[in-house]
Amino acid sequence: MQAYPGYSRHDSGSEHDQAVLQADESSVPFPFKPDIPNLLGMAIGNAAVLFGWFVTLAVIWTHTFGEVRVSTTQAALLVGLFALVVTLVVEVRTKKQIIYRKISTFDTPEADGEPR
Residues 44-58: tens digit of each pLDDT: 998 898 889 989 998
Q: What is the pLDDT of residue 36?
A: 79
Residue 10 is given by DSSP the state -
- What distance in Å separates the CA atoms of residue 61 and residue 56, rounded to the nearest whole number? 9
pTM above 0.95?
Answer: no
Give the range with max mean pLDDT: 5-9, 26-30, 35-39, 100-104. 35-39
pLDDT of 80 > 90? The answer is yes
Q: Tally Cβ neighbours within 10 Å of residue 42.
A: 19
Give me the percent of the chain exceeding a pLDDT of 70.
57
